[in-house]
Amino acid sequence: MIEMWLKDKLEAAAGVRNALEDYAQRQTDMRIMSDSFQQINQAMGMPKKEGQPKAAGAAYLKAFVER
């Protein structure tokens, strides 16, 4: 993707911030925008039973993530 960006002299390269930063660190003439076009929130989840969360498991997961 980055090779194509360089080869075809495209104006912008889209990517995941971490991956772009990894690349840009090794270069001197790249810049990464401070804002983003998309944010993907990674969460954990448990299946609901008949529309209701399973109380103990969901509470355990929540506590785990927040710790």
Binding stretches for another protein (CB under 8 A): 1-2, 4-5, 8, 10-24, 28-48, 51, 53-54, 56-58, 60-62, 64-66
Query: Closest separation between CB of residue 22 and another protein, Å?
Result: 6
Query: Closest separation between CB of residue 26 and another protein, Å?
Result: 12
Query: Closest separation between CB of residue 28 and another protein, Å?
Result: 8
Contacts of 2 (CB under 8 A, 6+ apart): 13, 15, 23
How many angstroms separate the CA atoms of 58 and 60, rounded? Answer: 5
Token pair in block for residue 58: 């969901």
